[in-house]
Chains A and B, each alone.
Chain A
Amino acid sequence: MMKKAWGSVWVSLLLVGILGLMGCGQKTETKKEGANSKQSAKQEAKADAGKGKKTFVMVPKVVMPYYEPCFEGFKDAAAKYGAEVEYLPPNEMKLPLQVKVIEDLIARKVDGIAISALDDIGLKQVINDAMAAGIKVVTFDAPAPSSNALSYIGTINEAAGAAAAEEMIKTMGGEGELAILQGGLVSSNLNQRFEGFKKTIETKAPNIKIVAREDTEGKIDTTVAKVEALLQVHPNLKAFFGVSATDAPGAAIVIEEQKKVGKILIGGFDDTPDTLSAIRKGTVSFALAQQTYKMGWLSVVKLCEAIEGKTIEKEINTGLLVVTKENVDSYMSEMKANVEKSDAAK
């Protein structure tokens, strides 16, 4: 008996601990919003007067710095158009968890959902359920074309790969050996980027030779190990191209350690803080920033339009920005200014 009683005490202690931890996490989230909402307080008040505020929820794949500008755009647009927003990432990058988030939102009857789909087929049912329940759903960043989602707002990956190749050709001067890093070989958006990239290199720069393509599993440890090995086996390598966000900063770690900055060039997708700091140091030549702020902003705009009964485009290409040493500190504010300018022009 005693033993059992102690057991339950321990278990409840553990539960309290876990709840405490979760509580902490949420506190930091709300705090962040609090700081940002000051500027939009006026607009909110205006919108409140119009009553019946809509609730829009952004569902990314997981917590990542990448999604922060998405949500910023989402929030800023919501402040302008008078909607409440929430940010509900799944705890882990796993399909069942993302499905669960959407199911909860259906039960809560929110007005709109913007989701970065972890999987097309896997989310089809739950997205259709949400639409059937009268919730407007758009996908941003990663599409779910099989579902009834109203629109995909994000980068068209094959075109993005082609644009990346153009930049890589420029950086490499049109010749030399190139190794490609890709975090995971099953993700369809990465594969499309790679296809677009490869096709453009092959047709426009026949003197650039793709000598390797390695799977870095989206993990820093694997990326570093693969880059170290590639440098051994290809002594004439001129450049690395990173298809996913962790690749360029991983390669940068090795290139800096081996003091080969400038001798071996790096370019890659996504403007993570690590990549940006490597661009400032000159280790990474360029990064292709997806217009994340624009994705978030347009998600709100399109959700509003859908609620008003307008038909919206099935696919909206948000395009890319090339980030180099020259614009590394200004590109984000330029991106935001452009979005707001074009929104005002409408």
Chain B
Amino acid sequence: MTKSIDSTGRAGRNFLLDLLKQKEMGVFLALVAIVAFLVCKTDSFASKDNLFAVSRQIAYVAIVALGIFFVIVTSGIDLSVGSLVCLSGVICALVLQGGHHPLLAVLAGLLTGAVAGAINGLLVSYVGVTSFIVTLGMLSVAKGAVLVLTHGDSVRGSTEQFSTFLDFGKRTFLDGRLSMPVVVLLVLAVICYIVLRYTVFGRRLFAVGGNEQATELSGINVRGIKFFSFVIASVASSIVGILYIFQYNSAQSSAGEGMEMDAIAAAVIGGTSLLGGQGSVVGILIGAIMMGVIRNGLVLMKVDAYWQKSIIGAIIVLAAVIDILRSKRK
């Protein structure tokens, strides 16, 4: 992101060269190569149905990754996002199942994330516990809360409000090409892009991650910024929790499990530094698309189930290595 601000400063000289210098370009080219390979090697990758399904799978991870990015860029980490996806979905579904208005249910779902995120933020920035521990604890608390509420079952809908809610969410766009989660992702990505690039809050987020002490000394409210980054990450998870209900017709108690790792991986593949201060919305989208396409591609290529996990892991590490090599060469 800081890099791309530099390049816009010199914009107009050689647009193409600038574009190639973008930090995300390496991963983007890799993604293009993988997609091209899958399009040539399989009949089904580029089919309308498959793209619909894959784009939806990607959207879930990408939204969580966009949220977690706000935390990572301040050099924190949020491990609780996956189980907050689940808890928010369960709360939303329970409110629907109680016969309340869908809007109220959505609000309850979002509020779940907001409260959990506020607790995370409070403990990290005002009490000073490391984010790793706080959010690891929250992961467990949220998972536990789901078990208390559901006993491990799912929350299925039978009320009229539940059907109204599902009807709304199952809507598709562009002649059945785009699903609701993808549309929500696109809207959120634009908002995040604007916030990170053009607002004071966005610039300060990068500053905190770049050099926390210097930022604090210059009179910026570092604690407040960190606090809000956790709230944003958790609310993004809540959005995904709610979107999952549209697809599953229910809130599933295993939804979102392990999603924190996918989100972190998507961010890192897209050039986000876990040390903070670096990364971009475009990079995250590329990272999430890469993960989704590879997962889908492995099944389409009929790769043996025993191999799939290792291949995904190797690709994540490879992306990180390439990234380091690129930045070193500069």
Residues of A within 8 A of B (CB): 6-7, 10-11, 14, 18, 21-22, 24-25, 28, 62-66, 68, 91-92, 182, 185, 212-215, 217-221, 224-226, 228-233, 235, 246, 249, 253, 256-258, 272-274, 277
| B308 part of interface (Cβ distance < 8 Å) | yes
Q: Are B259 and A64 in contact (CB under 8 A)?
A: no
Residues of A within 8 A of B247 (CB): 224, 253, 257
Residues of B within 8 A of A273 (CB): 153-154, 156
Q: Which residue of A lies closest to B244 (CB)?
A: A221
Residues of A within 8 A of B259 (CB): 221
| B256 part of interface (Cβ distance < 8 Å) | yes
Q: Are A232 and B143 in contact (CB under 8 A)?
A: no
Q: Are B123 and A63 in contact (CB under 8 A)?
A: no
Q: Are A221 and B250 in contact (CB under 8 A)?
A: no
Q: Are A21 and B305 in contact (CB under 8 A)?
A: no
A219 vs chain B, min Cβ distance (A): 5
Residues of A within 8 A of B256 (CB): 221
| B330 part of interface (Cβ distance < 8 Å) | no
Residues of B within 8 A of A221 (CB): 57, 60, 244, 254-257, 259
Known: A229-B299, A232-B44, A232-B50. A220 touches B148 (CB 8 A): no
In angstroms, Cα B47 to Cα A218, docked, is 28
How would residues 2 to 21 of chain B score, 1 for a CB under 8 Å from any chain A CB and 0 otherwise? 00000000000000000000
Q: Are A24 and B148 in contact (CB under 8 A)?
A: yes
- Give the residue of B127, B152, B153, B255 whose beta carbon is less than 8 angstroms from that of A7: B127
Known: A21-B145, A215-B308. A274 touches B53 (CB 8 A): no
In angstroms, Cα B146 to Cα A25, docked, is 11
Residues of A within 8 A of B147 (CB): 25, 63
Q: Are B140 and A92 in contact (CB under 8 A)?
A: yes
| B128 part of interface (Cβ distance < 8 Å) | yes
A92 vs chain B, min Cβ distance (A): 7
Q: Are A214 and B305 in contact (CB under 8 A)?
A: yes
Residue among B54, B244, B248, B308 with the highest chain A CB neighbour number at 10 A: B248
| B144 part of interface (Cβ distance < 8 Å) | yes
Residues of A within 8 A of B143 (CB): 92
- Give the residue of A65, A212, A246, A253 whose beta carbon is less than 8 angstroms from that of B302: A212
Q: Which residue of A lies closest to B295 (CB)?
A: A225
Extra contacts, 5 of them, besides A25-B148, A92-B140, A221-B254 (Cβ < 8 A), are A62-B152, A226-B299, A232-B49, A233-B42, A253-B248
In the complex, chain B residues 48-73 whose Cβ is within 8 Å of any chain A Cβ: 49-50, 53-54, 57, 60
In the complex, chain B residues 5-48 whose Cβ is within 8 Å of any chain A Cβ: 42, 44-45, 47
Residues of B within 8 A of A64 (CB): 152
In angstroms, Cα B250 to Cα A178, docked, is 27
- List 10 tightest A-B contacts by C-beta distance, closest first: A229-B299, A232-B44, A228-B53, A220-B252, A64-B152, A10-B127, A215-B305, A232-B50, A65-B153, A25-B148
What are 9 A-B contacts with C-beta separation under 8 Å? A14-B123, A25-B144, A65-B152, A220-B252, A221-B57, A221-B255, A226-B299, A232-B53, A233-B299
Q: Which residue of A lies closest to B61 (CB)?
A: A221
| B328 part of interface (Cβ distance < 8 Å) | no
Q: Are B141 and A21 in contact (CB under 8 A)?
A: yes
Known: A21-B144, A221-B259, A225-B295. A253 touches B249 (CB 8 A): yes
In angstroms, Cα B257 to Cα A231, docked, is 24
- Give the residue of A18, A28, A68, A225 whose beta carbon is less than 8 angstroms from that of B57: A225
Residues of B within 8 A of A68 (CB): 151
Residues of A within 8 A of B42 (CB): 233
| B126 part of interface (Cβ distance < 8 Å) | yes
In the complex, chain B residues 219-257 whose Cβ is within 8 Å of any chain A Cβ: 244, 247-250, 252, 254-257
In the complex, chain B residues 236-293 whose Cβ is within 8 Å of any chain A Cβ: 244, 247-250, 252, 254-259
Q: Are B144 and A28 in contact (CB under 8 A)?
A: no
Q: Which residue of B lies closest to A9 (CB)?
A: B127
Residues of B within 8 A of A7 (CB): 127-128
Q: Which residue of A lies closest to B58 (CB)?
A: A225
Residues of B within 8 A of A11 (CB): 127
| B306 part of interface (Cβ distance < 8 Å) | yes
A95 vs chain B, min Cβ distance (A): 16
- Give the residue of A213, A229, A274 whose beta carbon is less than 8 angstroms from that of B305: A213
A121 vs chain B, min Cβ distance (A): 22
| B108 part of interface (Cβ distance < 8 Å) | no
Q: Are A63 and B152 in contact (CB under 8 A)?
A: yes
Residues of A within 8 A of B44 (CB): 232-233, 235
Q: Are A229 and B141 in contact (CB under 8 A)?
A: no
In angstroms, Cα B147 to Cα A323, docked, is 26
Residues of B within 8 A of A257 (CB): 247
Q: Which residue of A lies closest to B53 (CB)?
A: A228
In angstroms, Cα B42 to Cα A246, docked, is 28
Q: Are B47 and A232 in contact (CB under 8 A)?
A: yes
In angstroms, Cα B136 to Cα A9, docked, is 20
Known: A229-B296, A274-B156. A10 touches B53 (CB 8 A): no
Q: Are B47 and A274 in contact (CB under 8 A)?
A: no
In angstroms, Cα B123 to Cα A18, docked, is 14
| B122 part of interface (Cβ distance < 8 Å) | yes
Known: A25-B148, A215-B308, A228-B53. A220 touches B127 (CB 8 A): no
Residues of A within 8 A of B244 (CB): 221
A213 vs chain B, min Cβ distance (A): 6
Residues of A within 8 A of B123 (CB): 10, 14
Q: Are A272 and B145 in contact (CB under 8 A)?
A: no
In angstroms, Cα B254 to Cα A277, docked, is 18
In angstroms, Cα B254 to Cα A272, docked, is 13
Residues of B within 8 A of A230 (CB): 299
How would residues 137 to 173 of chain B score, 1 for a CB under 8 Å from any chain A CB and 0 otherwise? 0001101110110011110100000000000000000
